[in-house]
Amino acid sequence: FLGRVDHQVKVRGHRIELGEIETALHAHPAVRHAVVTTVGRPARRLAALVVADADPRALTEWLAERVPAYAVPATVTLLERFPLSANGKVDRAALARLAERDVPAAAEDEPPSGPVEERLGRIWCELLGMERVGRHQNFVTLGGDSILAARLAEEIRRAFGADLALRQIFAGPTVAEHAVLIEQQETGAFEEGVV
């Protein structure tokens, strides 16, 4: 029994062929080498590691036009060269460790702002197993699925007393958008109490 000879994985309920994403990356004129892997246990998000003369955001946009949204990696990490194993092949395990360390927060993304966003950001970090999140990052791209969304809704209920439906969590999947919904419920509850 040899196991799988392809690199098919299941992430957030979707079967994804990593080789298809790698092929799409290799089609970019600035990419010399590309490997896509999963990060998190169980696999929560996709990460791409590339040797290229290109901006990671440009590569993400390139992929978004060529693969389904669920197959766009949360991070694109630029490397000067890939680590090799003793027999001279690309060391995928070493690349996976490098990808684990790359926090999927764009350098230009703003951190959570204000008390509601900051508290909500801490909840996201705990659920997603991350050190930090940006206020405009997408919950699903970072590894959120329906199970984590249900847990997020419960944590929001405990922390803020607000009830967010799962469809609301997925329709506006950022810390900033969730904070607006929470604040609207708090304001509505306050106004109802006054009237």
CA 66, CA 142: separation in Å to the nearest integer? 20
User: In percent, how much of the chain has pLDDT > 70?
Assistant: 86
Average pLDDT of span 109-131? 88
Higher pLDDT, 104 or 56: 56
**pLDDT average, residue stretch 184-193:** 66
180: Cβ contacts below 8 Å, ≥ 6 apart: 172
- Domains in the chain: ranges and CATH: 8-101 (3.30.300.30), 114-194 (1.10.1200.10)
More confident residue, 54 or 187: 54
Q: What is the pLDDT of residue 154?
A: 96
Higher-confidence position of 45 and 148: 148
pLDDT at 141: 74
Judge whether 52 and 63 are in contact, CB under 8 Å: no
Residue 86: the pLDDT is 86
More confident residue, 44 or 78: 78
Q: Rounded to two decimals, what is the model's pTM?
A: 0.59
69-87 exposure pattern, b = at least 16 Cβ within 10 A, e = fewer = eebbbbbbbeeeebeeeee
Greater model confidence, 35 or 15: 35
> What's the mean pLDDT when you consider all of the chain?
82
